[in-house]
Structure 1
Amino acid sequence: MTAEAAAAALDVARFDARQNSRHEDLAGDERGPAELGEWERIAQLLADAPSGTVYDPDTDDVVRAELAADAAAAAREAELREAMRIAARADELQALRELGALDQAEPREGDEAVREEPTRRAGGYIQDDVDAWLARALATRLGHYRGPAAREAAAGLLTPPVLAHAALLAELLRLVPGADVDQLAFAARLATTEPEATAALAAHLTHARPQAH
């Protein structure tokens, strides 16, 4: 936008402001004065600049600061919504635990972040049953873990013991189809104490599995 175009836009904004001031229902609208003030600022900016300068909002420090503030506010709002979601889901999981029904629940997208909330509430004590529930769900492809993308994403969201538990459990269930998961509780103990060794054992069982031809 050139200085001439900005001056013309300022004239229009001033005219609109005068018109609005004559209408009681529009006199209190803050958008008009704000728009007028912005055009006054831009027109003055171009008036003070060398002749021929073209206004570019991408290089306007005021606009850039406003956009940065808006982005920061949006990020804070998103963080608040996520915190509220995590708290609500943690309450739901806690209720299922108290009913003894956690193992029957299907995990949802975002539950990887929720697993830390019960631990935080317990003062840092790791909630083994929640970790075991997630590992079982990942191993048996329950809930949103049916999707390969979710299983792949879990590798970067869950802790090594949970991932090792899930990997070993999946291989044991392949070796003994129809086995009761409760009979394989030792997999969780192995993963908790020796996650690297457990992951290595799971990988060995995977490679040792007969390949289909």
Structure 2
Amino acid sequence: MTEAAAALEDARFGARQDSRHEDLANDERGPAELAEWTRITLLLAGSDDVYDPQGDVVVQAELAADAAAAAREAELREAMRIAARADELQALRELGILEQTEPRDGDEAVRDELTRRAGGYVQTDVDAWFAHALAAHLGHYRDPAARQEAAGLLTPPVLAHAALLAGLVRLVPGADVDELAFAARLATAEPEAAGALAAFLTRARSNAS
């Protein structure tokens, strides 16, 4: 309480000093500080408590509001990033050179954005791009942690397609992606069966080794 009272007196003194200077008379910081220390002093009046911001509901409400505003700003920045990346991938698709770029961290959300823009329709070229990148460990999928995370972000057909591609390439090294177009059809029609086939191919190769 003594520290709060002393701070209040300092704020009052500062406010009186500022009022004597025309260039500081309209400065809102002084009155705001005076009002805050007045509030804190009244909050502690009649007690021996030491001021603790953790127990000040006003301060905690302000901190919560600041945190919420920061979260909204972060969400907005992320939405803008996703939209810009979706525009970029769409432009590459239209130029027919999507396969010449590699996926980046967060592109799974970009896939969702492209699907939303398409009215919910599955875009086979985008899904095939993801599957090939995942199978060949391209872009950020070089990181095992990114591949593991993708398992919870991409759809079963994409994951099954990637697993089947990886199994087929191990079986026939040097196989061209165009030769394996049937893998996408299998994964789209029967993702569970395609996944089972990929596991079988992996097991068969391990046994052969």
TM-score band by shorter chain is over 0.9
CA drift at 1:15: 1.5
The farther-off stretch of 57-66 and 28-37 is: 28-37
Equivalent residue number for residue 12 of structure 2: 14
- Go from structure 1 to structure 2 and tell me whether the alpha carbon gap of 1:123 and 1:24 turns closer, same or farther (over 3 Å shift): same
CA drift at 1:20: 2.4
Aligned-partner residue type, residue 105 of structure 1: T
Equivalent residue number for residue 63 of structure 1: 59
- Unaligned runs of 5+ residues in structure 2 are none
User: Distance between the aligned counterparts of 1:31 and 1:208, measured in 2?
Assistant: 74
Which TM-score applies when normalising by structure 2? 0.94
Aligned-partner residue type, residue 90 of structure 1: A
Report the count of equivalent residues: 209
Question: 1:17-166 residue pairs with structure 2 within 5 A?
Answer: 17-47=15-45, 51-166=47-162
Identity %: 78
User: Distance between the aligned counterparts of 1:20 and 1:211, measured in 2?
Assistant: 85
- Go from structure 1 to structure 2 and tell me whether the alpha carbon gap of 1:32 and 1:211 turns closer, same or farther (over 3 Å shift): farther
Aligned-partner residue type, residue 193 of structure 1: A
CA drift at 1:179: 0.6
Aligned-partner residue type, residue 44 of structure 1: L
Question: 1:156-195 residue pairs with structure 2 within 5 A?
Answer: 156-195=152-191
- Unaligned runs of 5+ residues in structure 1 are none
Which TM-score applies when normalising by structure 1? 0.92
CA drift at 1:64: 1.1
Aligned-partner residue type, residue 84 of structure 1: M
CA drift at 1:173: 0.9
Give a deviation string over 1:118-176, Cα, whole Å, max 9, x none.
21111111111111101110100111111112111111111111111111111111111
User: Distance between the aligned counterparts of 1:182 and 1:198, measured in 2?
Assistant: 18
CA RMSD of aligned residues (A): 1.7
The farther-off stretch of 144-153 and 16-25 is: 16-25
